Structure 1
Amino acid sequence: VSLRISSSSLGPPPPSLEKQLVCPICLEVFTKPVVILPCQHNLCRKCANDVGSTLTSGGRFRCPSCRHEVVLDRHGVYGLQRNLLVENIIDMYRQGGTSTNPSVEVKVDHPMCDHHGDERINIYCLSCSVPTCSMCKVFGAHRDCEVAPLDAVFTTQKAELTDCISMLVGNNERIQAIISHLEETCRAVNENGGRQKSKVCETFDHLFAVLEEKKGEMTLRISTEQEEKLDYVRGLRRKYSEHVENAAKLLETAIQTLDESEMALFLQVTKPLIVEGTDTSHLDQLQHGYEDMGHFTADIERQRQALATVDFIRGVCVCVCVCVTLGANEHILSLEGISQRANMLASLLSLSVSHFSVVTVTHTLCRQRQ
């Protein structure tokens, strides 16, 4: 069956839907292009531009519907996203509903039955969900089916389609709200993650500074004793060097004395030479292991174990799973994060309205992953 109905048969939009297509500034049906604000309300771009041209607060103004503050970027109102769904609905009803007078005749291009070429399609088969003609009901394939007048089914399905359009508009706004919440969560996660990274870096920088200070203090103690020992050893070396020089002179004198033939003169000088040659009591001796510096070995095992256990403070983690129903489809939103995610859960719950219902909400408290 070939069915062709002109766009004018759609008629004017119902009051409930037409109210959603009215700009809150000019109070007329939206004029394309239509822009959607972050708060999910719509404006004609021309009206938004008129408001933006009078701004004195650095690209900020309040939504005329909910008073939510809107911050424009460097592109101004041209940076706002267009709501193509609303624009398409406006085009459809402007094409099919330009006249609100019910007495105006609607011109319909009546299709003919494919099986009975001279019969117009004038009934609707409820069993097969197709339009057909009276001959098909009496003699044809639909003689055992339940049928209804074409205009009655047309009115019913037109109302259902209108409700569906209203639901799509409402769901689109609510989905946009969820997207805004998710984008805000992404920004918050990035900001909080960067902030915590900076704090961790500052903590470790402070720890490094403490370790550097302690290292300097301990190496200074080693250097102090090292210099003291070196000074003592160098002084002792000088004394031994002087002793060697004196011994060499004494040796030379002793050899010369051996050549003395006069016994009385020999005996006068030998006794002091022998005493001086055998006297080494004034020379100090280094203690065994004097060079050892092992007592400066640092015991950091306890500190090493403490550093190995450095971790984040354990806190409460909120895991949220939201199951929403949009029409016949279910969508699962799983959110996991620190306790501030509860704020987003509350925002999601506030969006629960007809045709967009939160059917399952579960949340669990768990320990943050170690």
Structure 2
Amino acid sequence: MNTMENLEKQLICPICLEMFTKPVVILPCQHNLCRKCANDVFQASNPYLPTRSGSLTSGGRFRCPSCRHEVVLDRHGVYGLQRNLLVENIIDMFKQESSSSSKPAPERTEEVSPMCDVHKEEKINIYCVTHGVPTCSMCKVFGDHKDCEVAPISSVYQTKKTELSDGITMMVGNNDRMQGIISQLEEACRVVEENGRRQKTLVCEKFDQLYSILEEKKKEMSQKVTVEQEEKVNYIRGLTRKYGDHLEESCKTVEMGIQTMEEPEMALFLQNTKPLLEKIAVASSTAHLDKVERGYENMDHYTVEFKREGMALRGIDFLQDEDDEDDLDEDGEAGAEEGDGTQTVSGGSAVPAASVQPPPPQQINPSPSAAKSPAST
């Protein structure tokens, strides 16, 4: 009998606390469950699992109620688990042996029952429904429970056992469902972190593109200033060389004039004076030399102002709802018609391009050819 009792304990489902019912499924951790109980636990652990016409559209998971090992199922659910035919055969043999056995199964009533605290010689054999406590027959007849409603302790025992079993089953299902929700929340957290890293990478890429555009525009604007700078410097240096050559000729003429002044012979002096006076007249005239007019060296016409662009850059943000995106698109199209360039950033804000075209030059002669003017004599 002890062997049969031990065998019966091994054939008890940990969910329903009853003997396994066919078919019995075997989990990857080698523990067994009734298929119905396994399906209940699976459904409780995956409350948000999508279904279609009563069938699963994707796999799920739950934890073994015996060892808490995580069981991963495919789209077939618990019907994809293997049946434990060995346990089913043992159950059939156990039921046959129990029904054919001549020895009655020991009843739990034969065990030593607790005695009443008030009537020491009376066993507790009834249940007071009014106060919700077990008591004895003497307490019902003469004691504190004589006016109370009572019931046979065996019937209350079966009722309470069923309630407790149902409560345990419900708690196991709730625990598995909570574990499933925790797993889903952990997975959602991981996905959020991954999506956050990906979006930060995209934002950085968009800002790098914006930096590249600014660097290219800076190089282009600097090149414009450099070209005009070199043009003006080369022109002024050319004039410097011309004025230097003219000065050198004038100095030579002065030396020739001083030497002629020292000539004592009047006839020879007069012969040399006429060509010398002509050279002096030519050297004294600068009409053939260009002059740099006032303000020619000024470069203030390349001044830029990025106040509006700075405000636009500070207003960069992520895209809003679809309605806001439509408004932004309309504003962008209107700006394009007016000639204002925009640079779209990953954040979704439209950034007006910098007005880098310089205003009309403030100088009189912006080029060397136009800067030339006849020199006054």
**What's the CA shift for 1:100?**
7.6
Instruction: State the TM-score, normalizing by the size of structure 2.
Output: 0.58
Distance 1:21 1:219, change over 3 A: farther
Q: Which residue of 2 aligns with 1:111?
A: 114
- Given that residues 60 and 77 in structure 2 are in contact (C-alpha distance below 8 angstroms), is that contact kept between their aligned partners in structure 1? no
**2:300 equivalent to 1:294:** yes
Distance 1:28 1:303, change over 3 A: closer
Query: Partners of 2:286 and 2:131 in 1: how far apart?
Result: 130
**2:229 equivalent to 1:221:** no
**What's the CA shift for 1:183?**
2.4
Query: Partners of 1:23 and 1:117 in 2: how far apart?
Result: 50
Q: Which residue of 1 aligns with 2:60?
A: 39
Distance 1:246 1:169, change over 3 A: same
Which protein has the bigger helix share?
2
CA RMSD of aligned residues (A): 4.5
**What's the CA shift for 1:283?**
2.6
- Given that residues 63 and 176 in structure 2 are in contact (C-alpha distance below 8 angstroms), is that contact kept between their aligned partners in structure 1? no
Query: Partners of 1:19 and 1:179 in 2: how far apart?
Result: 31
Is there any run of 5+ residues in structure 2 with no aligned partner, and where?
1-5, 46-58, 82-96, 323-348, 350-377
Residue number among 278, 285, 288 corresponding to 1:279 in the alignment: 285
- Given that residues 61 and 180 in structure 2 are in contact (C-alpha distance below 8 angstroms), is that contact kept between their aligned partners in structure 1? yes
**What's the CA shift for 1:147?**
2.9
**What's the CA shift for 1:64?**
6.2
Distance 1:268 1:158, change over 3 A: same
**What's the CA shift for 1:262?**
4.2
**What's the CA shift for 1:146?**
3.2
Distance 1:291 1:141, change over 3 A: farther
- Given that residues 123 and 133 in structure 1 are in contact (C-alpha distance below 8 angstroms), is that contact kept between their aligned partners in structure 2? yes
**What's the CA shift for 1:221?**
1.6
* Percent of residue pairs bearing the same amino acid type: 43
Q: Which residue of 2 aligns with 1:65?
A: 77
Q: Which residue of 2 aligns with 1:250?
A: 253
Which structure 2 residues correspond to residues 298-337 of structure 1 after superposition, within 5 A?
A: 298-315=304-321
Q: Which moved more, 1:208-217 or 1:138-147?
A: 138-147
- Secondary structure of 1:23's counterpart equals strand
**2:187 equivalent to 1:187:** no
Distance 1:270 1:241, change over 3 A: closer
Query: Partners of 1:202 and 1:20 in 2: how far apart?
Result: 60
The higher radius of gyration belongs to 2
Q: Which moved more, 1:264-273 or 1:123-132?
A: 264-273
- Given that residues 25 and 64 in structure 1 are in contact (C-alpha distance below 8 angstroms), is that contact kept between their aligned partners in structure 2? no
**2:212 equivalent to 1:209:** yes
Query: Partners of 2:79 and 2:254 in 1: how far apart?
Result: 112
Is there any run of 5+ residues in structure 1 with no aligned partner, and where?
1-6, 52-59, 70-98, 317-369
- Secondary structure of 1:40's counterpart equals strand
- Secondary structure of 2:238's counterpart equals helix
Query: Partners of 2:230 and 2:288 in 1: how far apart?
Result: 24
Query: Partners of 2:79 and 2:200 in 1: how far apart?
Result: 36
Which structure 2 residues correspond to residues 70-85 of structure 1 after superposition, within 5 A?
A: none
Q: Which residue of 1 aligns with 2:359?
A: none
Instruction: State the TM-score, normalizing by the size of structure 1.
Output: 0.59
Q: Which residue of 1 aligns with 2:178?
A: 175
- Given that residues 243 and 289 in structure 2 are in contact (C-alpha distance below 8 angstroms), is that contact kept between their aligned partners in structure 1? yes
Which protein has the bigger strand share?
1
